Amino acid sequence: MNLISPVLETHNLNIYYGDFRAVTDVNIQIPRHKITAIIGPSGCGKSTLLRAFNRMNELVPNTHIEGEIIFEGQNLYGRDIDPVEVRYRIGMVFQKPNPFPKSIYENVAWAARIHGYRGNLDELVESSLTKAALWDEVKDILKQSALSLSGGQQQRLCIARAIAVQPEVILMDEPASALDPIATLKIEELMQSLKKDYTIVIVTHNMQQAARASDYTSMMMLAENTRSGTVIEFEETNTLFTRPKDKRTEDYVTGRFG
Amino acid sequence: MNYGYPIRNKGLQKKIKPGETVIHVLLFLAGFISIFTTIGIVFVLGKDAWLFFRLPEVNLWDFLTGTSWQPHINKFGILPLFTSTLLTTAIAMTIAIPLGLAAAIYLSEYASQKARKIIKPTLELLAGIPTIVYGYFALTMVTPLLRSIFGANIVEIYNTGSAGLVMGILILPLVASICEDSLSAVPRTLRDAAYGLGATKLEVAIKIVLPAALSGISAAIILGITRAIGETMIVAVAAGAGPNLTLNPFKGAETMTGHIVRISGGDLSYDSIDYNSIFAIGLFLFLITLVLNIISQRIVRKYREVYE
Amino acid sequence: MIVKRMRETSDFSNNLSLRQRSGKYWRIAFLAATIIGILALSALIINIVDSVLGYVIVDSKINPATLAVNGIELEEQSSEQWIQLLKDNLSSGALKKLEEERPLLERSRKDLYFLIETRVLRYEVLETWSLYDSLFRKAEIVNEYLSIKKDYPGAQLQFKSWINGDLVVRSQSSEASTAGIRTAVLGSLWTILFTILFAFPLGVGAAIYLEEYARDNWLNRLIQTNINNLAGVPSIIYGILGLAIFVRALEPLTSGALFGFVDPTTANGRTVISAGLTLGLLVLPLIIINAQEAIRAVPQSLRKASYGLGATKWQTIWAHVLPNALPGILTGTILAISRAIGETAPLVVVGASTAITFDPSTPFSKFTTLPIQIYQWTSRPQSEWRHLAAATIIFLLVLLLCLNAAAILLRNRFEKKY
How many CB atoms sit inside 10 A of residue A223's CB? 14
Q: Give me the pLDDT at residue A48, please.
A: 93
Selection from A201-210, B62-71, C14-23, C358-367 with the highest mean pLDDT: A201-210
**Any A CB within 8 A of C319 CB:** yes
**How do residues B177-220 score in pLDDT, each as one tens digit?**
999 988 998 888 888 888 888 788 888 888 888 888 888 899 89
pLDDT of A202: 95
Residue B59 and residue B73: Cα distance in Å, rounded?
A: 14
**In this predicted structure, what is the pLDDT of residue C5?**
53
* Spatial distance between the Cα atoms of C373 and B233, rounded to a whole number of angstroms: 13
Report the pLDDT averaged over residues A24-42: 92
Q: How far apart are CA C377 and CA A11, in angstroms?
A: 79
Per domain, the residue ranges of chain C are 55-160, 182-417
Mean pLDDT is highest, among A94-103, B69-78, C83-92, for A94-103
Question: Which of A163, A166, A168, A195 is most worth mutating to test chain B (most B CB atoms within 10 A of its CB)?
Answer: A166
Homologous superfamily of domain range C182-417? MetI-like (1.10.3720.10)
Q: How confident is the model at residue A51 (pLDDT cuts 50, 70, 90)?
A: very high
- Please state, in angstroms and rounded to a whole number, the distance separating the CA atoms of residues B291 and B299: 13
Asked whether residue B1 is domain-assigned, the answer is no
pLDDT digits over B83-138, tens only?
999 999 999 999 999 999 999 999 998 888 888 888 888 877 788 899 999 999 99
Distance CA B107, CA B120 (A): 8
Q: Do C234 and B226 touch (CB under 8 A)?
A: yes
Percent of chain B at pLDDT above 90? 43
| For A83, nearest residue in chain C (alpha carbons) | C310
Which pLDDT band, with edges at 50, 70 and 90, does A225 fall under?
confident
Indicate the residue of A61, A85, A111 with minimum beta-carbon distance to C216.
A61
Inform me whether the pLDDT recorded for C266 exceeds 80.
no
Q: Are residues B55 and B98 in the same domain?
A: no
Are residues B42 and B80 located together in one domain of the fold? no
Angle CA C378–C383–C388, to nearest 5: 55
Identify the band that residue C262 occupies on the pLDDT scale cut at 50, 70 and 90: low
Strands (E), C103-215: 123-128, 156-161
Q: Are residues B35 and B144 in the same domain?
A: no
- C230 within 8 A of C284, measured Cβ to Cβ: yes
Q: What is the mean pLDDT of residues B280-294?
A: 92
Predicted local distance difference test score (pLDDT) of residue B3: 62
pLDDT at A174 over 50: yes
Q: Which residue has the higher pLDDT, B60 or B11?
A: B60
Higher pLDDT, A126 or C41: A126
Average of per-residue pLDDT values in chain A: 89
**Domain shared by B152 and B22, yes or no:** no
The amino acid present at C153, given as its one-letter code, is: P
Closest-CA distance of chain B to residue A28, Å: 21
Reduced to 3 states (helix: H, G, I; strand: E, B; else coil), residue C233 is coil
- Chain B nearest CA to A194, separation (Å): 13
Contact B158, B238 (CB under 8 A): yes
Domains identified in chain B, total number = 2
- The domains located in chain A, with CATH, are 6-253 (3.40.50.300)
pLDDT at position C322 is 94
Residue A16 — φ and ψ, nearest 5°?
Answer: -120, 140
Closest partner CB to A82 (pick from B8, B10, B13): B13
- Closest residue to B5, CB basis, from A80, A117, A197: A117
ipTM: 0.90
Contact (CB<8Å) C304/A100? no
- pLDDT per residue as tens digits for the range A108-162: 999 888 888 888 999 999 999 998 989 999 999 999 999 999 999 999 999 999 9
Apex CA C198: angle with CA C190 and CA C200, to 5°?
105
Tell me: do B97 and B216 sit in the same domain. Answer: yes
User: Is the predicted pLDDT of residue C295 greater than 50, yes or no?
Assistant: yes
| Claim to verify: residue B42 and residue B70 sit in the same structural domain | no
Does B5 fall in a domain?
no
In chain C, what residues touch B132 (CB-CB under 8 Å)? Answer: 342, 344, 371, 374-375, 378
Q: How many CB atoms lie within 10 A of CB C319?
A: 20
Give the pLDDT score at B234.
Answer: 94
Specify whether B42 is located in the same domain as B104: no
Greatest mean pLDDT among B43-57, B281-295, C27-41 lies in: B281-295
Contact yes or no for C37 and B257 at CB 8 A: no
Cα–Cα distance between C107 and B6 in angstroms, integer?
65
Q: How does C108-147 read in b/e, with b if 16+ C-beta sit within 10 Å?
A: eeeebbbbbbbbbbbbbbbbbbbbeebeeeeeebeebbee
Higher pLDDT, C107 or A20: A20
Mean pLDDT of C140-158: 83
Domain interval for residue B270 = 64-303
**Do B42 and B78 have their domain in common?**
no
Is the confidence at residue C418, as pLDDT, over 60?
Answer: no
**pLDDT for C265:** 56
Binary contact (B12, A116; C-beta < 8 A): no
DSSP structural state of residue C13: -
Q: Chain B: residue nearest A166 by CA?
A: B1
Which chain C positions have a beta carbon within 8 Å of B290's beta carbon?
229, 233
Do B253 and B160 have their domain in common?
Answer: yes
Are B147 and B178 in the same domain? Answer: yes
Contact (CB<8Å) C227/B34 = yes
Residue A47's pLDDT is 92
Residues B79, B51 share a domain: no
pLDDT band at C145 (very low <50, low <70, confident <90, very high): confident
Query: Chain C residues with CB inside 8 Å of A162's CB?
Result: 308-309
Q: Does A82 touch chain C (CB under 8 A)?
A: no
Any residues with CB less than 8 A from the CB of C203 and at least 6 apart, and which?
B30, C283, C284, C286, C287, C288, C291, C333, C336
Q: Quick one: average pLDDT of A31-57?
A: 91
* A19 vs B: CB within 8 A: no
Q: Is the pLDDT of residue C101 over 80?
A: no
Residues whose CB is less than 8 angstroms from the CB of residue B147 and which lie 6 or more positions away in sequence, other chains included? B155, B157
Chain A residues in contact with C298 (beta carbon < 8 A) = none
Q: B227: how many CB neighbours lie within 10 A of its CB?
A: 24
- pLDDT category at A257 given cuts 50, 70, 90 is low
Query: Alpha carbon A90 to chain centroid distance?
Result: 9
Mean pLDDT within C377-387: 87
In the predicted model, is pLDDT for residue C24 greater than 90?
no
Q: Which amino acid is at C210?
A: L
Select the residue of A96, A110, A162 nearest C319 (Cβ to Cβ). A110
pLDDT value of position A258: 47
pLDDT in the model for residue C10: 62
d(CA A146, CA A157): 8
* A16 in reach of chain B (CB within 8 A): no
* Residue-level pLDDT at A223: 83
Query: A23 near A223, Cβ under 8 Å?
Result: no
